[in-house]
Amino acid sequence: MKRKTSRSVVKLSLIIVLSAVGIYFIYFCFEGFLLDYFNNRLYQAVYLSTSGYAKELKLSALEYEDIQKEYGAPTVIEREQNTVNSDVMLVSNEYPGVSVHYSEQTNFNGALVKYIYLISIIGNDFRFGPLGIGIGSSRLQVRIAYLLDQKIDLDELAYSAKYFPDVDEGFYGDNWSRILFSYDENGKVVSMAIEPSEFWGW
């Protein structure tokens, strides 16, 4: 009886050890995949969704075609070569109260593709979300509105300063997009911007 019990204990111990080794082996093989999955899970904004920003801007989506259809011809167009990739042209279209910044690049099929990387807002007419955040809102109002959204730390915010140089503060929106704010000396919003997550791809 004692021998039977000890065999059961050995068998159980062996199963536990083999299971642990198997789990470790699977983790070792798929560690990169698992980390990428957990790090890149879609982030859902609490205060306002991407479609919420688009709706306030009278767009069905934050895409070049929708912007062109809604706003028509820009009042000012500025173009410059991307210093990192000479195949990419950076274009800025200005409309009343809104500037749309996008990249132009010819893909392998020879088609010209356009990716929006920043929409900056300086017009008083736009109010975002239930607390009506926009130009003239106080820093306190912004922080209350985005209290449950993840704040962008200063090191990460430095990347956004490349295209939105006066940025003072930012919060993550849907799918790790960025909602950026610039304040005056009295802590009032003077400009804000939406940086779609897709722009990191080019």
Give tens-digit pLDDT for 74-87: 999 999 988 878 78
Tokens 């722009």 locate to: 199
Q: What pLDDT sits at residue 177? A: 94
The domain containing residue 22 runs over which residues?
A: 1-41
Residue 117: name the closest of 62, 174, 61 by CA. 62
- 65 and 34 inside one domain: no
Please state, in angstroms and rounded to a whole number, the distance separating the CA atoms of residues 40 and 47.
20
Say if residues 84 and 159 touch (Cβ distance below 8 Å): no
Q: What pLDDT sits at residue 82? A: 82
- 107 and 18 inside one domain: no
- 19 and 88 inside one domain: no
- 135 and 183 inside one domain: yes
pLDDT tens digit sequence for 136-189: 999 999 999 999 999 999 999 999 998 999 999 999 999 999 999 999 999 999
Q: State the burial class of residue 47 (Cβ atoms within 10 Å of its Cβ: 0-12, 13-18, 19+).
A: buried
Give me the number of domains the chain comprises.
2
Q: State the burial class of residue 199 (Cβ atoms within 10 Å of its Cβ: 0-12, 13-18, 19+).
A: middle
- 112 and 187 inside one domain: yes
Q: What pLDDT sits at residue 22? A: 60
- 113 and 139 inside one domain: yes
